[in-house]
Amino acid sequence: MGKKIRIVDTTLRDGMHAVAHQFTPEDMAEIALKLDEAGVDTIEVSHGDGLGGSSFQYGFAAASDQEYLEAVSKVLKRSKLAVLLLPGIGTQEHLEMAAQYGAKVARIATHVTEADVGEQHIKLAKKLGMEAIGFLMMSHMVDKEKVVEQAKLFESYGADTIYVTDSAGALAPNEVRERIEAVKKAVSVPIGHHAHNNLGLAIANSLAAIEAGADIVDGTCKGLGAGAGNAQLEVLAAVLNKLGYETGIDLYKIMDVADDIVAPKMKRPQVIDKNSLSIGYAGTYGSFLLHALRASEKFGVDARDILIEMGRRKTVGGQEDMIVDVAYELSKKNQMIDKTGLQIG
Amino acid sequence: MSKKIKAAIVGPGNIGMDLMYKLIDSKYIELDSVIGIDPNSNGLRLARENGFKTFHTGLEAIIGNKDIKIVFDATSAKAHLKHAEMLKNDNKIAIDLTPAAVGPYVVPPVNFDENVDSININMVTCGGQATIPIVAAINEVADVEYAEIVATISSKSAGPGTRQNIDEFTETTSKAIEKVGGAKKGKAIIILNPAEPPIIMRDTVHVKVANPDEKAINDAVINMVSKVKEYVPGYQLKVPPIIDGDKVTVMLEVEGAGAFLPKYSGNLDIMTAAAKAAGEKIAQRLLEKE
């Protein structure tokens, strides 16, 4: 029997970005029930930007965190319920609420250089009896030494698991491999990887992570997620199955959830288009996509220019407000060009 | 030279030092003492070099000194709970720069006058000082139902205190958006950005209003920005109000004065500038009473 790989489904969290956070609690319960039956180990449920993410800044969700968690917790039989929390957006109060609704896993997500803002949340999660995961976002922005330093911080706070996350879908397989290998060597807890598909590498990167020693990988049905989406779960399950890894997932059942339950709820095709490709190419946070499209329309500038400028300014996860700022500046610059007649007509 | 009110700073860390340099040219306050707990600390050394009295035995050192009327507390929330009681018993006015919030939240251009006689005032948070004036200004003309602020600061300007207790920032700021800003519901978000060179503090204010009168909102925001600029020269309207249905978005940038801390740390600058502004108003009033 092959190595056991734990799968975390994030259709009901990262997938929320792709539907502008508009899944209803009923949608979530329906999907979660089928994911549970398909044998998915852990199911993450939250606003796309984590608990407390419902806002002007990130978009208001169709329902409250409580309503989502309540709906999903009622249908789960085997799968563990997980939540995501970004310190600075969500607070310990949200974590306590989630624990009350049966969440067993708390993923505490910080920018890859800022693990120390998550110390109090990791400790609270442990106190509440939850599995605490330190989730290092935008790991492409630093070298492996920095990732190791921050992973060790999370381990020192008591994290049970450390994730090396490619929030921008900007890493190539060799870059995933070197980060995972280095972290695996430095800490004694299980390691996870969360991939995005902006460069078409989500499955390849998940495999590279596993080969480098990762024990957990994330995926979403139909690849639903920020930017060009995540590792497509049914594809991941098939690939891992073929290579002899044990995921506990029933392949036909997960294919059915993706095609029959999730696909009809999608608002737009989950593809790599010029904008999501620009995200991966520029190394910009995946969740910026829909915000950039809206700003592009409002200010009459190319969404790619916005996304690439966001990358140039080294923005991090959560800085959605900067998109408006950048779009506004780009539109002013274009107006100046129009007025001075510099533009070639 | 006209008479001034004597004051002390307790807590000679980054905030305390920045405040010390700012108080040197105060019209109404004469900084007398700087108090810490470590005689070899960099802060106390700088205070000595600048000619101030220093003590390394904690706040007790100035209790009983009737000349000192105002004490700026730049220690920690936990320490301030103790200090607040000591200062009250010694008839000293406390200007609290910690998140302890023993006294009412004060954002100088919004609600100083209501709290002019309070013996302890709290300076909220950096994000609160930067954004609540805008929330309050819009509320005056458009009735704010919900206000949400996003403060983005450079990683370098967030000290260990902020980092280990980041929830304190979001919770305190949210409460003050309601209490001082006048929003029916408040929400605060903070983001740390590690880019090099460090980014200047930027703040976004999103509000939902009952009455989106574009001209009134524009005028109110521009007027408030100039009021804050009087004591925070680096305070700038980055993007003027964008009105989209009942949603108004305003973007601000806060560059520090560079007195002691680097210019990018506008978040620390606006705290000390607000504390100085409040302290001067209190001192002015004490002088009038004499």
pLDDT at residue A345 tops 60: no
pLDDT at residue A340, as a whole number = 53
pLDDT at residue A176 tops 90: yes
From the candidates B135, B145, B168, B193, which should be mutated to test the interface with A, based on the most A CB atoms within 10 A? B193
pTM for the model:
0.94
Chain A closest-CA separation from residue B252 CA (Å): 10
Complex prediction ipTM:
0.93
Please state, as a whole number, how many other Cβ atoms lie within 10 Å of the Cβ of residue B117.
Answer: 8
pLDDT, tens digit, 9 for 90 and up, residues B21-45:
999 999 999 999 999 999 999 999 9
Are residue A169 and residue A280 in the same domain, yes or no?
no
Which chain A residues have a beta carbon less than 8 Å from that of B206?
55-57, 321
Which chain B residues have a beta carbon less than 8 Å from that of A322?
152, 202
Q: Is B75 on the interface with A (CB under 8 A)?
A: no
Residue that finishes a domain, picked among A236, A264, A292: A264
Are residue A194 and residue A256 in the same domain, yes or no?
yes
The span from the CA of B73 to the CA of B280, in Å, is 15
Are residue A319 and residue A235 in the same domain, yes or no?
no
The span from the CA of A162 to the CA of A256, in Å, is 31
Question: In the beta sheet, which residues pair with residue B185?
Answer: B146
Are residue A306 and residue A260 in the same domain, yes or no?
no
Chain B closest-CA separation from residue A52 CA (Å): 9
Residue that finishes a domain, picked among A264, A285, A301: A264
Are residue A219 and residue A302 in the same domain, yes or no?
no
Q: Is A57 on the interface with B (CB under 8 A)?
A: yes
Are residue A125 and residue A157 in the same domain, yes or no?
yes
Q: Tell me phi and psi for residue A83, to 5 degrees.
A: -130, 155
Which chain A residues have a beta carbon less than 8 Å from that of B247?
56
| Nearest beta carbon to residue A57 from set B150, B170, B208 | B150
- 8 Å CB contact of B189 and A325: no
| Nearest beta carbon to residue B148 from set A56, A91, A322 | A56
pLDDT, tens digit, 9 for 90 and up, residues A304-337:
999 999 999 999 999 999 999 999 999 998 877 6
Are residue A336 and residue A231 in the same domain, yes or no?
no
Q: Torsion angle of alpha carbons B209, B213, B214, B219, nearest 10°?
A: -100
pLDDT at residue B164, as a whole number = 86
Q: Please check whether residue A269 lies inside any domain of the structure.
A: no
pLDDT, tens digit, 9 for 90 and up, residues B57-89:
999 999 999 999 999 999 988 999 999 999 999
- 8 Å CB contact of B249 and A55: no
pLDDT at residue B258, as a whole number = 87
pLDDT at residue A341 tops 70: no
The span from the CA of B260 to the CA of B53, in Å, is 19
Are residue A166 and residue A231 in the same domain, yes or no?
yes
The edge-to-edge listing of strands for the beta sheet with B5-10 is B53-55, B29-35, B5-10, B68-73, B93-96, B120-122
Q: Is B167 on the interface with A (CB under 8 A)?
A: yes
pLDDT, tens digit, 9 for 90 and up, residues B255-286:
999 888 899 999 999 999 999 999 999 999 99
Q: Is A116 on the interface with B (CB under 8 A)?
A: yes
The span from the CA of B199 to the CA of B264, in Å, is 6
Residue numbers of B annotated as active site: 126
Which chain B residues have a beta carbon less than 8 Å from that of A91?
167, 170-171
- 8 Å CB contact of A325 and B160: no
Which chain A residues have a beta carbon less than 8 Å from that of B152?
319, 321-322
In the predicted model, what is the mean pLDDT of chain B? 95
- The residue of chain A with its CA nearest to that of B187 is A55
Which chain B residues have a beta carbon less than 8 Å from that of A92?
167
Are residue A58 and residue A193 in the same domain, yes or no?
yes
Q: Is A323 on the interface with B (CB under 8 A)?
A: no
Q: For the residues B5-29, what does the mean pLDDT come to?
A: 95
pLDDT at residue A75 tops 60: yes
The span from the CA of A168 to the CA of A118, in Å, is 21
- 8 Å CB contact of B166 and A88: yes
Q: Please check whether residue A76 lies inside any domain of the structure.
A: yes
Q: Is B245 on the interface with A (CB under 8 A)?
A: no
Work out the angle at residue A322's Cα, subtended by the Cα atoms of residues A22 and B207, and round it to the nearest 5 degrees. 65
How far is the first Cα of chain A from the last one, in angstroms, to the nearest whole number?
Answer: 66
CATH number at residue A304: 1.10.8.60
Q: Which two tokens stand for residue B243?
A: 């009105």
- 8 Å CB contact of B194 and A313: no
Taken in order of first residue, the domains within chain B and their CATH numbers are 5-123+270-289 (3.40.50.720), 126-264 (3.30.360.10)
Q: Please check whether residue A66 lies inside any domain of the structure.
A: yes
pLDDT, tens digit, 9 for 90 and up, residues A252-274:
999 999 999 999 999 999 999 99
| Nearest beta carbon to residue B163 from set A56, A89, A117 | A117
The span from the CA of A108 to the CA of A129, in Å, is 15
Q: Please check whether residue A1 lies inside any domain of the structure.
A: no
pLDDT at residue B152, as a whole number = 96
Q: For the residues A181-201, what does the mean pLDDT come to?
A: 98
Q: Percentage of chain A with pLDDT > 90?
A: 95
pLDDT at residue A1, as a whole number = 58
Are residue A149 and residue A16 in the same domain, yes or no?
yes
Q: Please check whether residue A69 lies inside any domain of the structure.
A: yes
pLDDT at residue B194 tops 50: yes
pLDDT at residue A338 tops 70: no
Q: Please check whether residue A188 lies inside any domain of the structure.
A: yes
pLDDT at residue B2 tops 80: no
With 0-12 / 13-18 / 19 or more C-beta atoms within 10 angstroms meaning exposed / middle / buried, residue A343 is exposed
Which chain A residues have a beta carbon less than 8 Å from that of B194?
111, 113-114, 316
From the candidates A60, A65, A116, A117, which should be mutated to test the interface with B, based on the most B CB atoms within 10 A? A117
Residue numbers of A annotated as active site: 17
Q: Tell me phi and psi for residue A25, to 5 degrees.
A: -55, -35
Q: Which of A28-42, A322-336, B107-121, B135-149 has the lowest mean pLDDT?
A: A322-336
Task: Count the residues in chain B.
Answer: 290
| Nearest beta carbon to residue A120 from set B164, B195, B242 | B164
pLDDT at residue A344, as a whole number = 44
- 8 Å CB contact of A89 and B189: yes
Work out the angle at residue A135's Cα, subtended by the Cα atoms of residues A132 and A141, and round it to the nearest 5 degrees. 165
Chain A closest-CA separation from residue B193 CA (Å): 6
Are residue A113 and residue A194 in the same domain, yes or no?
yes
Residue that finishes a domain, picked among A264, A286, A320: A264
pLDDT at residue A339, as a whole number = 57
pLDDT at residue A63 tops 60: yes
The span from the CA of A197 to the CA of A276, in Å, is 9
Q: Is A66 on the interface with B (CB under 8 A)?
A: no
| Nearest beta carbon to residue A56 from set B169, B192, B206 | B206
| Tally of structural domains, chain A | 2
In the predicted model, what is the mean pLDDT of chain A? 95
Q: Is A274 on the interface with B (CB under 8 A)?
A: no
Q: For the residues B106-124, what does the mean pLDDT come to?
A: 95
| Nearest beta carbon to residue B249 from set A89, A113, A324 | A324
Are residue A216 and residue A138 in the same domain, yes or no?
yes
pLDDT at residue A95, as a whole number = 98
How far is the CA of B128 from the CAs of A251, B174, B197, in angstroms? 51, 8, 25
| Nearest beta carbon to residue A91 from set B170, B193, B194 | B170
Q: Is A318 on the interface with B (CB under 8 A)?
A: yes
Q: Is B243 on the interface with A (CB under 8 A)?
A: no
Q: Is A53 on the interface with B (CB under 8 A)?
A: no
CATH number at residue A249: 3.20.20.70
The two beta strands, A105-111 and A131-137, are: parallel
From the candidates A121, A146, A321, which should be mutated to test the interface with B, based on the most B CB atoms within 10 A? A321
The residue segments making up the domain with residue A22 are 6-264
Q: Percentage of chain B with pLDDT > 70?
A: 99
Q: Please check whether residue A123 lies inside any domain of the structure.
A: yes
Q: Is A74 on the interface with B (CB under 8 A)?
A: no
